[in-house]
Amino acid sequence: MLSFWEKDSYYANTDVIIIGAGLMGLWSALELKKQRPSLSITIVERNSTPLGASTRNAGFACFGSLTELLFDEAKLGTNAMLDILEARFKGIQKIKSHFSAETIQFDPCGGYEAIPASHATAANLDDHIQTLNQLLSPITKLDQTFTNQSAEMRKIGLKNFDHLVGNVLEAGIHSGKLVNALSKLVMEKGVTILYGLEVKDWESERNGVQIQMQNGLKLCANQLISCVNGFTQQLIPSLNIVPARGQIILTNAFEHLTMKGTFHYDEGFYYWRNLGNRILIGGARNLDFKEEETTDLSGTEKIRTHLLDFLRQHIVTHENIVMDQYWSGIMGFTPTKEPLIEEVAPNIFAAIACNGMGVALTPVMAEKLAIQVMANV
Q: Which tens digit of pLDDT belongs to each residue from 52-75?
A: 889 999 999 989 899 999 999 999
Q: Tell me what pLDDT residue 354 has.
A: 74
Query: Does residue 267 sit in helix, strand or coil?
Result: coil
For the stretch 314-343, pLDDT in tens is: 999 999 999 999 999 999 999 888 889 999
Q: Tell me what pLDDT residue 51 has.
A: 81
The answer to whether 4-56+176-240+336-374 and 106-172+242-333 have equal CATH topology is: no
β partners of residue 172 = 60, 107
Cite the DSSP H helix spans in the chain. Answer: 4-7, 23-35, 66-76, 78-98, 101-104, 125-140, 153-156, 175-188, 232-235, 289-292, 301-314, 358-374
pTM of the model: 0.95
CATH topology for 106-172+242-333? Answer: D-Amino Acid Oxidase; Chain A, domain 2 (3.30.9)
C-alpha distance from residue 269 to each of 46, 55, 187 (Å): 29, 19, 35
Query: Does residue 185 sit in helix, strand or coil?
Result: helix
Residues of the chain above pLDDT 90, percent: 90
Q: Which CATH architecture has domain 4-56+176-240+336-374?
A: 3-Layer(bba) Sandwich (3.50)
Q: For the chain, give every domain's residue range.
A: 4-56+176-240+336-374, 106-172+242-333
The three-state (H, E, C) secondary structure of 326-351, written as one string: EEEEEEEECCCCCCEEEEEECCEEEE
CA 152 to chain centre: 30
Using an 8 Å Cβ cutoff, are 302 and 265 in contact?
Answer: no
